[in-house]
Structure 1
């Protein structure tokens, strides 16, 4: 007879889920044990998010069983999943923007009828300190960066004390230091007997934190191993993709041309005397801990908020003149971090989303040439491997990574001279990341690129120059060939001169 200790916290048996003709999950079976961290890997569209949504009670399987502690369980809603001890942090944040961090964490989980604001903030602040998550519990969600919002979602999960914890790309917007703190928290929770499911596309993270690894491909489990059986991230990537993949990108030398962006003494909310220049033919990477002014700077450059004090010049024009009547092509492309909130409309088709920033290119007088637009979308989704890439399907049916690839396909199509790429590979698998990196370097031939990233490896791989931002001020700006200053990036990100 099987002992209680050997019974997995979660057992999946033959789970299958389809969306019309698309089979997202097909006969998936594996175990999730307490006290261990299971890394779930797979390409964009492999079925990871669908499977986790079933576990979280947001979707219902067409076939198969879920056993929680040996008992078959059906989740009619997320409430049932939560009651069974399952908690999940989603890629798309579920927060109330008008509320504070503390109010969001305690929303629906209050222990008494009345809690003072001070008591809520103290309780959440203590929780954040316990897991080394740096965030102000009194801050409003609307004022936070995407990285800080991710921390709030993690705090909600920790506060609920779930026994099965699902983290979907939790480090996508975290710095290496924040990620290391998160890994420490995950190990602590596993040591307490909790089961951790960790979804990531970063091979080095999986090797660093996982006890077990399961790989999905085409909606099916193709293998499950103990992490000790995998010798390198190259081997892990090969098992995930079914072929050899390398992220060693050949970045050829480029001669910088004319300025496409000049920022002088820009100040305002979270910005303090920012000076920055981006030239055609170069990648300028802006790196820093989330919440240090990157969001405000990008929104100003992209035309979403006017400059405060100081001066911003885009493609040789003053900010107000440039955004008074910008062209759809060969000017400025913006790839936002918030793909669901800013980049796409999930209820619109892929074709209509493609037209959001390219419509002028398909107009002839009063008429919109939808057939030509649709044919272009067919070509671009194939080129960027958007899965499934049917031009008439709604964007909301795509996984997060495939949504990002749709946005990249649209913005690169515009052949812009200035590209603002904010976390462009966030949520993408290795193969897609490799392709986006190549596309960015190819675009560098005719454009200047402002790359805003929390991934230092991405910055070092792609950038010609790196600027480090801390508390709204550019701490330093230097060439990647300056080895001594490159060594100080971590200190600069922490505010040390």
Structure 2
């Protein structure tokens, strides 16, 4: 593979623009995507990466400009049109039928009577998986697969449809440390076989590892496009992205430890097995593990969504039922969900009403709601947390995922909680916003205990005082973040291996 792309791009985006009401998501985008290369697409939250790729994959139609494939303009009315043209996107949320086999999922919707026989289906999928370095058992049911294996099925679905361009949106978020190199090996094999790969990630070390080319968006425009070979370090790459120097590691000053704010004893049921954990004011405990190993069930029990079946959960010295029967809006527990648009916010409400979702009692001391004060607080949150665009009147669905997360963080910190449960708080955030969120969580632990649920090991190591590794509903181990021997084995613990 050469260090520079060939003259003729496989895909050319020519003058692409897209607006959503007053929000200009993309403005006059010019971008080439070359066969046999990995293009890393970078940008701060709200820069327009997802909108641009959603147009390329057929989910949105551009307001203006053209998508040109092999020199021929194309107009996609749907994702199917894009797939038919050889363009597919691997999303973070998989679209698989859990009760069907790998082979059945890969070939679902494919034409041709020769796919009817299970043995023939499995043979074809096995050959495809071997060709692209994506080991999988074609006869296995989706419900029995790890998240990494399910991702391979999604990739195989696109490869079976002869996709020439594969778009990966934050693909390593669901992978263990050992699965990420396997994915990168498969991506390199795709480019060796002449396919183009677009890789969206906020992890600088991953981009330095896998990318051939880098394109950077700011406020809906391409501001830089360069070969990765011209970038010397991940710090330099981060500086290119945000336009200033970014420190990718933060200093964690010690915080005095206080009273116990959360105590979990022998918590079982709903997929959990004998979980024991304490959390005190002044510390961050990180729950790490591959998605789907009991983290959601643990969070549901702690945040009041599901009553514990067996064992006990005490919050601020109160039993679970007592705590959740009389909880106030302030100085108690704040929850920052992973699902920003479905659980944390209401898509069709404006930003003021979304702030009021968990703070309304603070603006209604009597019968009437002080909406003017709520608007002022929302404006302050938008300013302090750098939410873009800074318009309190727009709807939540008009924000990018990262900017929506910043609004949620600002709202929940405004409540001055004593317990913070933060699920994937920096997922989808750019390095600048991640740096800010990390500082805010570290500062918050002075008055709170923080239960951090994250799939990002670097985030866990940077922020946590202790780490608990979850696998199939159990804590494989709970250890101090300075225990280097345990840290070296964390990948094995996440895979359920103790020896």
Q: TM-score, normalization: structure 1?
A: 0.91
Report which stretch shifted further, 76-85 or 151-160. 151-160
Length, aligned pairs only: 490
TM-aligned CA distance change 1:451 to 1:154, over 3 Å: farther
TM-aligned CA distance change 1:427 to 1:368, over 3 Å: same
**Structure-1 residue corresponding to 2:61:** 60
**Structure-2 residue corresponding to 1:478:** 479
Question: Shift of the alpha carbon at 1:421?
Answer: 0.7
**Structure-1 residue corresponding to 2:182:** 181
Alignment of 1:246-261 (within 5 A): 246-261=247-262
TM-aligned CA distance change 1:162 to 1:379, over 3 Å: same
TM-aligned CA distance change 1:67 to 1:274, over 3 Å: same
TM-aligned CA distance change 1:79 to 1:414, over 3 Å: same
Question: Shift of the alpha carbon at 1:15?
Answer: 1.4
Report which stretch shifted further, 223-232 or 104-113. 104-113
**Structure-1 residue corresponding to 2:134:** 131
**Structure-2 residue corresponding to 1:370:** 371
- Superposed CA deviations along residues 208-240 of structure 1, whole A, max 9, x for unmatched, are 000111111121111111111111001111111
TM-aligned CA distance change 1:298 to 1:110, over 3 Å: farther
- Superposed CA deviations along residues 452-481 of structure 1, whole A, max 9, x for unmatched, are 111111111101111112221112212122
Q: Distance in 2 between matches of 1:473 and 1:31?
A: 47
- Superposed CA deviations along residues 156-175 of structure 1, whole A, max 9, x for unmatched, are 43443411111111122323
Q: Distance in 2 between matches of 1:433 and 1:363?
A: 33
Q: Distance in 1 between matches of 2:228 and 2:59?
A: 29
Question: Shift of the alpha carbon at 1:198?
Answer: 0.4
- Superposed CA deviations along residues 276-327 of structure 1, whole A, max 9, x for unmatched, are 1111100001112222211211111111112122111111111122122321
- SS of residue matched to 1:356: helix
TM-aligned CA distance change 1:113 to 1:334, over 3 Å: farther
* Gap runs ≥5 in structure 2: 1-5
Runs of 4+ aligned residues of structure 1 deviating over 6 Å after TM superposition are 96-99, 116-129, 133-136, 143-149
**Structure-2 residue corresponding to 1:314:** 315
RMSD: 2.7
Q: Distance in 2 between matches of 1:366 and 1:87?
A: 53
Q: Distance in 1 between matches of 2:374 and 2:120?
A: 55
Q: Distance in 2 between matches of 1:360 and 1:117?
A: 59
Q: Distance in 2 between matches of 1:381 and 1:359?
A: 18
Alignment of 1:53-202 (within 5 A): 53-91=54-92, 93=93, 95=95, 102=102, 106-109=107-110, 111-112=112-113, 131-132=134-135, 138-139=141-142, 153-202=154-203
Alignment of 1:42-57 (within 5 A): 42-57=43-58
- SS of residue matched to 1:329: coil
**Structure-2 residue corresponding to 1:39:** 40
Please say if 1:381 is aligned against 2:382: yes
- Contact 2:166–2:198 under 8 Å retained in 1: yes
Q: Distance in 1 between matches of 2:106 and 2:358?
A: 36
- Superposed CA deviations along residues 415-454 of structure 1, whole A, max 9, x for unmatched, are 1111111111000000000000000001000000011111
* Gap runs ≥5 in structure 1: none
Question: Shift of the alpha carbon at 1:10?
Answer: 0.3
**Structure-2 residue corresponding to 1:240:** 241
- SS of residue matched to 1:425: coil
Alignment of 1:213-224 (within 5 A): 213-224=214-225
- SS of residue matched to 2:173: coil
Q: Distance in 2 between matches of 1:231 and 1:62?
A: 37
- Contact 1:172–1:427 under 8 Å retained in 2: no
Question: Shift of the alpha carbon at 1:54?
Answer: 1.2
Report which stretch shifted further, 105-114 or 413-422. 105-114
Please say if 1:276 is aligned against 2:277: yes
**Structure-1 residue corresponding to 2:3:** none
Q: Distance in 1 between matches of 2:294 and 2:145?
A: 10
Question: Shift of the alpha carbon at 1:105?
Answer: 5.1
Alignment of 1:344-359 (within 5 A): 344-359=345-360
Report which stretch shifted further, 486-495 or 345-354. 486-495
Question: Shift of the alpha carbon at 1:6?
Answer: 4.8
**Structure-2 residue corresponding to 1:265:** 266
Alignment of 1:403-422 (within 5 A): 403-422=404-423
TM-aligned CA distance change 1:314 to 1:122, over 3 Å: farther
- Contact 2:341–2:396 under 8 Å retained in 1: no
- SS of residue matched to 1:254: coil
- SS of residue matched to 1:12: strand
